[in-house]
Structure 1
């Protein structure tokens, strides 16, 4: 293992066996490499693939070279050519997140003898192991048990072994309520023969034994409560690692790799911490750390300045660490240089480093149109034929007609007040609850029903990562574009004070703007994700004053034209993620849910759109909020997709102008907050 001393003694039995077997150098734990030998090992990582097997946008029905495992596979093959010794692991959030995934899980579920498309693709490349992310639980334990080929002693779990990936999946911190045992193997051992070199330069082949342990975010019990409550329990990341590391050490691995579907957070640790990688790295016995969940890259500038983190070379508290992006856009790679010292492999931290290799890069010069088109690696030709049938079926599925729209429904300027993409979601959600709630809770029949929705696609993944449904025919693809995630619907009861607190939390999406500052000021807070900017409709109107500090920005809040009072009751329709505490909104922890629908929000939306026949301004509520008028000395700016000013104008946002085109599909816009 690494240079940190092991807290566990070498079993005498293993020593005796090795001596009897005639090993003249060291016991079997340490292999046959002589002291002074040196090896170069690459740990490769994918994470948050979200079933993006191909580089294809199912919402726009066109190829998208900027994402997809078929191109990550090319990077994997190139890394294997570059490094003689490689191990490949997946960090989870693998089976959910694309139209193809929903088709194989919901529209036409795979049978027990069918392997998921994403696992077929991964098996074609060959993985050494992986873990389970939070989104693996979105389709329920029965489906997860089936498609991972993992019999589970849980309610609804598969008891027989179905077709699953051809590599071990490990998960240590989720256990069955029935027998208190982990629903997956908590850890596994992977052994390979590697190339190494003796001090005199001679090549030798020696065994290397790597242990992997998998961990997922504990808040899954909130996020997927309807799928998990009463069936499984979850433990904190640090507590779980402390429990299983002695078992792993007893197997005498050369390296221990922790595969955590979580990111980095140096805030005080709790057993419910979502991104506990910083604390996991501090545990003796962890040699290498693989991260995910955060949809970002490590090493990378986002983590610069974090305590005990080298965000340039990729170390967290001295442990080599990587987080390889999302959607197949990148490959994470840790180059480990191992030295043989005192009969064990030791990581040379000075010679080792981590990096994130993208499938697409910007070229050195501009293209013919002035833009800089991305230069992407070619797709691995072995992948597409494996999934072609499922891919074509998914396209046919999302093209099922469900209605018409006279409006363009877009999220290009959702942060600035265009709610066209959110209004149908809010209308469908509110309609469902207004019909269902009186049957379940007659006592709440007179309570006003509001609805909260957030724009899930606001450019985080690049200039094409926006919802954009053209006026004209609506299909299931339109519903999937308008509602990106397979959440279920939930409704909570709040009072006026709770409603205001909800909106104050949402308003953290914006930076505080100083009206007297003459330089540029960014409107959007990059650390507050777009899917947490809830916009509420249903008769409310509110004003956001971005010159005020966080928690004091809702300058006005009215319902049906009168001020909302702190004690008056409301029902707010949202999704199961938010209602159960996702996003850490005040007062939302699952305790005030009055309706937890068995239906998916996307399916509810599709049915509502069918009933409308034609969608237009007559059946959609107008934007429910505005910015407080604010005259600034300098420009207030934000980044968006370039060339979309006409979308803003059509939505009535006349105070927006495009300043410059970045040449990569994005542009800087300015917004006049005084209008």
Structure 2
């Protein structure tokens, strides 16, 4: 026998031994079981650190650095895990704006949030709607994804060290998806045969991503003519045959969207319920809605188990927002007929908070802060740039109840800008009255510290960022009296209808209408909101300069690009009546106005434009706000507000006496003049 055949036999024997080794992947026999954890972050919004840039202090209730601790704990608990992100990742804090707009990162630099995520080893993610806020060139750069933009191919730059997939956004000129629509993640997992033997077996998980189709409205100035968007169901049906041809063991849909059982449309914002019904999708990761699933918000929804975390029979999770939570799906897999199947009886989802109770919150992972220390320090220095002084406390604690102190600054700055710029662009509109609309972005949704609060004293860029939370640009729309009233009626849906005969407590705020959709319009305008009436019939006593507004009376309204282009689905606002689309950010316009004003007094602010129409109720009308702030309400003339009970978590339940008419003399007198 020659030496070569002998060596071949020895080599084959060695290979066979390796193949049967307990550490080498093998095909699992039927009956084999494995537990696999699907971990999800979503809507982190660049909250890398537990730091409040508006109040310049630590905030242990938010921050990816604490979610990282939960990730490490989950990995220690589960032998097998995958980690995904469902979008709205790169925008949302002053740190994000600093790296995008003030001192943009270079092609060779990675965003702070991606540095932090890379430290935790993600397996994939998708793009949310806010990924598009800074424009396609920036998105292409920071995600390391070359794109065709205006006929030019962008360079490949530094991006996250994990794949981003997006199946429903396409280049308008080529029809090709701007991101890879799907990809396959391959791992070796630990499994157990029916006799208890441990195996290392391969698993292939396909991931496919989706963003809300309304991005074409919300970021029209960045996306119009550059991309097209399809519905999430249509995109899934388009690419699932390709995915299935690669024989994945699981298909995970990563959707930046929530759940809505209204009739499906291709531009549905929260299409998760319908996506779960697409054959071939096994697991659903949700986002965008800034809430938790499973959770009580979805109790009673058709074909949804809001306790164990199933949507139409598919395991699903939505892991909160702002780095407050980690979503976890514990998948129980069983091998049947040569394929992995999900044992639904032994599968469940949960959302794990970084603060299980008010205190203590989990500690920050020490590996994260050093990665972003330089960018964080530069951002802190930037927001502390002085721009003036104020003699007025500007807060949003009671913005829903009529305190316009913080909004008045935004509206004054927006109105001033449009009044100066519009005559040059549209001389024919020079005589048309200019109004301004703004909403309080921070009204407690994120907790008892989630309010704008700029105390009297020095003003900095941090103050302007607190007054205006988002990186919107300014826009102005041409409308009429009927349009203004319709705008206000839509805003007044923020309130529940109050029954004056009811003796028990009634909640004032409709929590299904976000605070950022309660626009308050100023500029010699006055109106009352009658919450005893149904939605759409609540605006009464609408006047301009003391005279009733007529339906055909022309107006120009200063607002932001999101609202002007259709964000929030306000009647008559779809981008077609925009007469000014500035490239200047509203936050920067506010900062410039404050700087020109010098020392801000009440006389510099427009008068509060609205109040509740008197409505005498038998029982208390209540709302929740930060505890201990009744004095602030009274200082701004809201003497009909009293704190009922402290809830012990930084918030309190207040009562508002709607029967007390605060219009006129009971409100602080405010003139309005323009300083040069």
Classify the TM-score, shorter chain: over 0.9
- The answer to whether 1:56 aligns with 2:41 is no
CA contact (8 A) 1:496 1:568 kept: yes
Whole-Å Cα distance in 1 between the matches of residues 256 and 505 of structure 2? 37
- Is 1:590 the equivalent of 2:575? yes
State the distance in 2 between where 1:646 and 1:236 align: 49
Give 1:444 deviation, angstroms: 1.0
After the TM superposition, which segments of 4 or more aligned residues of structure 1 sit over 4 Å from their partners?
Answer: none
Contact 2:26 2:200 in 1 (8 A): no
Q: Which of 406, 430, 435 is the aligned partner of 1:450?
A: 435
2:116 paired residue number = 121
Q: How does 1:323-342 map to 2 (within 5 A)?
A: 323-342=318-337
Q: 1:35 aligns with which of 30, 39, 43?
A: 30
Shift of 1:155: 2.6
Aligned to 2:63: 68
Instruction: Choose from 335, 358, 361 the match for 1:376.
Output: 361
Deviations 1:144-197 (A, max 9, x none): 111111111123876221111000001111111221111110001000000000
Q: Could you tell me which of 562, 574, 577 is aligned with 2:562?
A: 577
Match of 1:112 among 87, 107, 111: 107
Q: Which runs of 5+ in 1 are unaligned?
A: 1-20, 363-372
Contact 2:334-2:341 within 8 A present in 1 as well: yes
CA distance in 2, matches of 1:536, 1:197: 64
Distance 1:75 1:148 in 2: 25
Secondary structure at the aligned position of 1:385 is classed as helix
Secondary structure of the 2:149 match is coil
Q: Assess if the C-alpha contact under 8 Å between 1:426 and 1:537 holds in 2.
A: yes
1:668 and 2:653 are equivalent in the alignment: yes
Matched residue, 2:95? 100
Equivalents in 2 of 1:656, 1:670: separation in Å?
6
- Match for 1:148 among 132, 143, 148? 143
1:412 corresponds to 2:407: no
Offset of residue 434 of structure 1: 0.8
Once residues 180 and 198 of structure 2 are traced to their aligned partners in structure 1, the CA distance between those partners, rounded to angstroms, is 36
CA distance in 1, matches of 2:576, 2:260: 26
Shift in Å, 1:591 = 1.3
Tell me the distance in 1 between the aligned counterparts of 2:253 and 2:572.
Answer: 34
Displacement of 1:654: 0.5
Gaps of 5+ in 2: 1-15, 661-676
Q: What is residue 387 of structure 2 aligned with on the other side?
A: 402
Residue 198 of structure 1 corresponds to: 193
Q: Distance in 2 between matches of 1:454 and 1:319?
A: 37
Report what 1:390 is aligned to: 375
Shift of 1:31: 6.5
Structure 2 Cα separation of the partners of residues 140 and 203 of structure 1: 50
Q: Which residue of 2 aligns with 1:500?
A: 485
The TM-score normalised by the length of structure 1 is 0.94
Candidates 542, 546, 550, aligned match of 1:565: 550
Question: Mapping of 1:193-272 within 5 angstroms?
Answer: 193-272=188-267
Question: Is the Cα contact below 8 Å between 1:145 and 1:158 reproduced in 2?
Answer: no
Contact 1:154 1:178 in 2 (8 A): no
TM-score normalised by L of structure 2: 0.93
For the residue of structure 2 that corresponds to 1:361, the secondary structure is: coil
Give how far 1:286 is off: 0.4
Q: CA deviation at 1:439?
A: 1.0
Q: Structure 2 matches for 1:600-639, cutoff 5 A? A: 600-639=585-624
Task: Give a deviation string over 1:614-638, Cα, whole Å, max 9, x none.
Answer: 1111110121000011111111110
Q: How far apart, in 1, do the equivalents of 2:495 and 2:120 lie?
A: 43
Distance (whole Å) between structure 2 residues aligned to residue 424 and residue 33 of structure 1: 65
- Alignment partner of 2:275 out of 254, 267, 280: 280
**In the alignment, is the contact (CA less than 8 A) between 1:141 and 1:157 conserved in 2?**
no
1:352-382 CA distance string (max 9 Å, x none): 01100000022xxxxxxxxxx4220010000
| SS across alignment from 1:169 | coil
- 1:279-298 alignment runs, 5 A limit: 279-298=274-293
Q: Tell me whether 1:87 sits opposite 2:87 in the alignment.
A: no
| Whole-angstrom distance in 1 between the partners of 2:152 and 2:413 | 32
Cα RMSD after superposing both structures:
1.3
Residues 434-471 of structure 1, C-alpha deviation per residue, up to 9 Å, x if partnerless?
A: 11111111111111110000000000000000000011
- Kindly indicate whether residue 350 of structure 2 is the aligned counterpart of residue 355 of structure 1: yes
Contact 2:26–2:199 (CA<8 Å) still a contact in 1? no
Who is 1:547 aligned against? 532
SS across alignment from 2:345: coil
CA distance in 2, matches of 1:335, 1:135: 29
1:184 aligns to 2:169 (yes or no): no
SS in 1 for 2:551: coil
Query: Are the aligned partners of 1:452 and 1:534 in contact in 2 as well (CA < 8 Å)?
Result: yes
> What's the counterpart of residue 135 of structure 1?
130
Pick from 456, 465, 469 the counterpart of residue 480 of structure 1: 465
Q: What residue number does 1:366 align with?
A: none
Of the three residues 30, 41, 44, the one matched with 1:46 is: 41
Q: Give a deviation string over 1:537-596, Cα, whole Å, max 9, x none.
A: 011100001111111111210000000011111111111111111111111111111111
CA contact (8 A) 1:31 1:208 kept: no
Provide the rounded CA distance (Å) in 2 between the counterparts of 1:160 and 1:621. Answer: 48
- The whole-number CA distance in structure 2 between the counterparts of 1:355 and 1:158 is 42
- Count matched residues: 639
Contact 2:40–2:83 (8 Å) recurs in 1: yes
Contact (CA 8 Å) 1:145, 1:152: kept in 2 or not?
A: yes
Secondary structure at the counterpart of residue 422 of structure 1: helix
